[in-house]
Structure 1
Amino acid sequence: MSCRRASTKRGKPGTKNRSDSSVAKSTLTAEAVQEAAKPSASIFNQPRAVWAVFFAGVISFMGIGLVDPILPAISEKMNASPSQTTLLFTSYNAVMAVAMLVTGLISSRLGMKRTLLAGVVIVALFAGLGGISGGIWELVAYRGGWGLGNALFVATALTAIVSMSRGGVTKAIILYEAAIGIGIAVGPLLGGELGTLSWRGPFLGVAGCMVAAFVALIVLMPKERQVAAAADPVRRISLSDPITALVRHRPLLVFGLTACLYNIGFFTLMAYAPFVMGLEIRGIGYVFLGWGILLALTSVFMAPRLQRAYGTVKTMCAMLALFGLTLLAMAIWTDVQWVVIASVVFAGALLGNNNTLITTGVMNAAPVERSTASAAYSFLRFIGGAIAPYMAGKLGERFGHSVPFYVGAAFVLLSVVFLAANRKHIRHVDQVEAH
C-alpha cells in the first residue's frame, strides 16, 4: 500500500490520521504549535506536563522489576514455594490485563489528569499495604491492587504523552518507552538496596515515591480542561470498545497476540531467573539494573534507527528471534551462573528495541482512538504476563530449573512465526509512520 493510499484510508472522519492533525493543532501554547511543526525538534524539548507524566511513569514502572531481587527472600521469610512467590507477578499482571479494558471508559469520563492521579494514589496505597502485610496470600492480593492502579496510569500515560508532546508520535513513544526502561532499571536497584534491610523496604519505598509523583502531577500538569484541549477530541468510550477493536482490526489483534506470546518469555525471565542466579539480594538487583539500563538505552537510541533502516516488522522478528535463542541458552546452561547473568542483561537490549517497535506499531495499526488501541493491546499483552510467572514456578518445581526457560523460548519463537505469517496485515504501519 502506498503512502497515498495510506493517507486516503486514514484521512476519513474519526480515524487516527485526523487525530494526528488535531494533536498538532491543539497543544497548550502557541510556541508548542510551532515546535510541533518542526520535524527536527529535539525529543527533549517537551512541555512540563510531559515531563511530569514521564517522572510519574518512571516510578510507576519501577513496580515491574522491584520485586525481582527480593523474590527468594520473600519465599524464605514467608515459607512460600517459588510458584507461590511468582504469583506476585501473576496477580499484578492479571489485574492489569482485565483493568486495561476499563481504562478508556474511566479516562473518557474522569479525564486524563484525574485518571493518572487516581492510578498513582491506588499504587501508593497498595504498595504501602504490601509493605506491612503478614503472609504470602495477603501480599499477592495487594500486588493485584497495585496492578489496578498501574493499569489506570499506564494506559492513560501513553495517551497523555502522545497527545501533549512535541515532535510527533514516534518521539512521544520513545519518551514513553524511556520511562519504562528507566523505571525497570531503577526498580531492581531500589529493590536490591532496600531489600538488604528488609523485604518490606521496596514496597514502602515505592509508596513514598508515588506520593512524590502525585505532587509532581498536581503541580506540573495543567488543569483538566487544558489537558483535554491538548488531546484528541474524545468521545465516551464503552466497555466493549477495546474488544470490538481487536475483532474488527486484524493488525491490532496481530500485535496484541504477538505481545501476549513474547511476554510469556519476558516474564519467565523476570520471575524465575532470580531463583537460578545463585546471588544475594543486592547482586540480583545489579543484574537487573544492567538489564534495565540496556532496555532503556536501546528503546530510545537504537530502536528508531533500526526501524528506519529495516522497518518495524522485520526488526521485531529479528529481536524476538534473538530473545528466543537467549532463553534457549538459559535453558541449556541453567547451571552455569555467568551464562544466566549475561543472558538476562543481554535480553534487556532485545526487549528495549522490541517494546518501542511494537508500541509504535500498535499506535499506527488501526483507525481507532489511541486510548482504545492501547487498552486492547495491553489487555492481550498482560495476559501473557499473568500466565508466565506461575507457570514458570510450577514447571521449575516439577520438572527442573531449565524447563521454564525452554517453554518461554518456545512461546517467543512462536511469536516470530505468528508475526511473519501475518506480515501482510501489518506492513502498512511503516507507511503510516512515514506519511
Structure 2
Amino acid sequence: MSSGGGILRQPMSVWATAFAAVVAFMGIGLVDPILPSIAQGLHAGPSQVSLLFTSYFLVTAVAMLVTGWVSSRIGGKKTLMAGLALVVVFAALAGTSGSVGELIGFRAGWGLGNALFVATALAVIVGSASGGAEAAIILYEAALGLGISLGPLVGALLGDWNWRAPFFGTATLMAVGFVLIATLLKDTPKPEVRTRLSAPIRALAHGGLSTTAFTALFYNFAFFTVLAFTPFILHMSAYGIGAVFFGWGVCVALASVFGAPPLQRRLGSVNVLHLALALLALCQIGIALSGHAGIIVFTILSGIPIGLNNTVFTESAMEVSDAPRPVASAGYNFVRWMGGALAPFLATKMGEELGIAVPYVVGATCCVVAMAILYGRRHHLLALRRVDTDHALEDAVVA
C-alpha cells in the first residue's frame, strides 16, 4: 500500500508537528486519573469538576471558526506557535489554581490554544507529509491515539505526587514542542485567498459535511461520556484509573492506525461508521449493566470503536465536500466538539441525580441517533463511495 509505506518516511518538520500533536492530545485525557483528586483538593463535586472538559471543548469548538481566518493571515507556522504558546501559559496557570472556578477558566484558555494548534496541525501535516492525504490523516490520528493513551498515564504518574504536577508537566512538554516547531518547520506560505470568518459555517451548507459533522456530534457525546464520567465510578487510585485509560487509549491508537484503513477498503467508510457506532453503543450498555470488573473491561474495549470512528470521521470530513481542507476541518470540528463540551457536565449530572447507569444509556442512544442520521442522509455521502473506490483501485494497482 503506497500510503502505508510513506507513513514512517516523513520530513523532520512533520515529526516535530506530530510530537506537538501528541502532547496536545495528551491534554484531553491528562485530567482523567486526577479528577477525583482535583474534586477532593478543591472541595468540588463531580459535576463541577466535569466543567474542566466543558470549558475546554466549548472554547475549542467556537475557536475552530477563527482558526482558518487566523492561519490564512499569519501563516500555518505562526498559528501553530501561537496555539502552543497559549497552551504553555494556560496549562502552567492551571497548575496554580486556587479554586475550581480558576481551573475551569484556565482550561478554557487552554482550549483556545488547543484549537489554533490542532486545526492547523492537521492542515500542516496533510500539506507536508509524504504518502498522500490518507497517510497524513492516519499519522495525525496516530498522534491523537498516542496522546490520548499517554495522557492518563502521565496524569497518573505525576498526579499521584500532586494533582497540580500534570499541568506543569504538560506546559513543559508543550514548550519543547514550541521549540521544535520554531526550529524544524519552515515558514508555510500564506494562501493566495484569505479565509473569511464565515467560511466554516458556509461550508456546513454542504449536505455531506453537515451530515458528517452532526453525526460526529452525537458520537462525541457518547465518546466523552466514557472519558469524563467513568473515572468517578471506577473507585480506584490515580494509578488504577490511569492504567484503565492507558489500555483504552492503546485500543484507540491501534484501531485508528491498523483497524480503520483495511475496514474502509473492505466495507466502505459509511459502513465502518455504522459498525463502530453500534459497537460503541454495545460497550456503553455493557458499562451500564456491569459490575466493577465489567466496567473496566467495557471501558477499555470502547477504545476500539472510538479509534475506528476518529479516523473515518476525520477522513470523511476532509473528503466529502469540495471545501478547502482547513475550512472543512474548522466547520466539522466546530459542530463535533460541541458534543465533547455538552457530554461531561450533562453525563456527570445525570449520574449524580439519576443513577450511574443513565449516562451510558443516553450515550448508547446517541450512537443510535448518529446511525439514524447516517442512514437518513446517506444520499449526501455518495462522494465517500468514490473515495473508497479510488483507494481500492490504488491498492489493486500496487498489488
Instruction: Report the TM range for the smaller structure's normalisation.
Output: over 0.9
Alignment of 1:279-298 (within 5 A): 279-298=236-255
Task: Encode CA deviations 1:32-81: one digit per residue, 9 max, x unaligned.
Answer: xxxxxx66743111111111110000001000000000001111111111
Amino acid at match of 1:95: V
- What is residue 53 of structure 2 aligned with on the other side? 89
- What is residue 99 of structure 1 aligned with on the other side? 63
- What is residue 403 of structure 1 aligned with on the other side? 358
Contact 2:3 2:134 in 1 (8 A): no
Contact 1:330 1:405 in 2 (8 A): yes
Question: How far apart, in 2, do the equivalents of 1:39 and 1:347 lie?
Answer: 27
Aligned pair in 2 of structure 1 residues 386, 207: CA closer, same or farther (>3 Å)?
A: same
Contact 1:105 1:237 in 2 (8 A): yes
Contact 1:364 1:433 in 2 (8 A): no
User: In the alignment, does 2:276 pair up with 1:319?
Assistant: yes
User: In the alignment, does 2:145 pair up with 1:181?
Assistant: yes
Aligned pair in 2 of structure 1 residues 40, 351: CA closer, same or farther (>3 Å)?
A: closer
Residue 287 of structure 2, aligned match among 314, 330, 342 = 330
Contact 2:152 2:246 in 1 (8 A): yes
SS at match of 1:86: helix
Amino acid at match of 2:202: T
Alignment of 1:10-409 (within 5 A): 41-222=5-186, 224=187, 227-228=188-189, 233-247=191-205, 249-333=206-290, 336-409=291-364
Question: How far apart, in 2, do the equivalents of 1:200 and 1:166 lie?
Answer: 39
Q: CA deviation at 1:220?
A: 1.2
Q: CA deviation at 1:107?
A: 0.5
Q: CA deviation at 1:325?
A: 1.3
Question: CA RMSD for the aligned pairs?
Answer: 1.3
**Which consecutive residues of structure 2, in runs of 5 or more, have no partner in the other structure?**
391-399
Task: Encode CA deviations 1:319-360: one digit per residue, 9 max, x unaligned.
Answer: 011101111111122xx1111111111011111111111111
Q: CA deviation at 1:430?
A: 3.3
Task: Encode CA deviations 1:252-278: one digit per residue, 9 max, x unaligned.
Answer: 000000110011011111110000011
Identity fraction in percent: 47
Question: How far apart, in 1, do the equivalents of 2:307 and 2:274 lie?
Answer: 14
Q: CA deviation at 1:396?
A: 1.2
Task: Encode CA deviations 1:350-388: one digit per residue, 9 max, x unaligned.
Answer: 111111111111110110111000000000111011010
Question: How far apart, in 2, do the equivalents of 1:193 and 1:49 lie?
Answer: 30
Question: How far apart, in 2, do the equivalents of 1:237 and 1:157 lie?
Answer: 17
Question: How far apart, in 2, do the equivalents of 1:287 and 1:384 lie?
Answer: 23
Runs of 4+ in 1 over 6 A off after TM superposition: none
Contact 2:29 2:148 in 1 (8 A): yes
Question: How far apart, in 2, do the equivalents of 1:186 and 1:50 lie?
Answer: 20
Task: Encode CA deviations 1:83-106: one digit per residue, 9 max, x unaligned.
Answer: 000000000000001000000000
**Which consecutive residues of structure 1, in runs of 5 or more, have no partner in the other structure?**
1-37
Contact 1:41 1:166 in 2 (8 A): no
Task: Encode CA deviations 1:156-183: one digit per residue, 9 max, x unaligned.
Answer: 0110111111111111100000000000
Question: How far apart, in 2, do the equivalents of 1:64 and 1:89 lie?
Answer: 8
